[in-house]
Amino acid sequence: MSQTLRLRGRSALSAFRSSRLLGSLRSAVPRVTGVHAEYWHFVELERALSDADARRLDRLLAYGPASLAGAARGELMLVVPRFGTISPWSSKASDIARHCGLETVRRIERGVAHYLVTGDGHQL
């Protein structure tokens, strides 16, 4: 029986890209005062991971700059590939996982969780 894990990753935006995105967002919605983005990984497994395989998968998915503590606040907007498609990133990441001995991994897909903060605290 297969299962799917959702694993939070590291920051998806450099400081420069985050600043640039915030400027674009503020042009469209002036009350947006902050933005943070991090990767989320969705891992489809054939069976549960052993402890050693779980540590290996965590190390494999620990790329990019570390997320800031407490940065995941605000309204969540999750961007993922269209349902039923397999992204090129997924194909490569799934191959790498299997080459690293993670035979139980069927597929890894990646999304980006954007957290938008408004100055008035109300939802968008």
pLDDT digits (tens, 9 = 90+) for 55-109: 999 999 999 888 765 567 889 999 999 988 999 999 999 999 999 999 999 999 9
Provide the terminal-to-terminal Cα distance of the chain, rounded to the nearest Å.
39
Residues 6+ apart with CB under 8 A from 94: 105, 106, 107, 108
CA-based diameter of the chain, in Å?
49
> Which tokens is 33 given?
């005062």
Indicate the pTM of the whole model: 0.87
Angle (CA) 63-80-120 rounded to 5° is 90
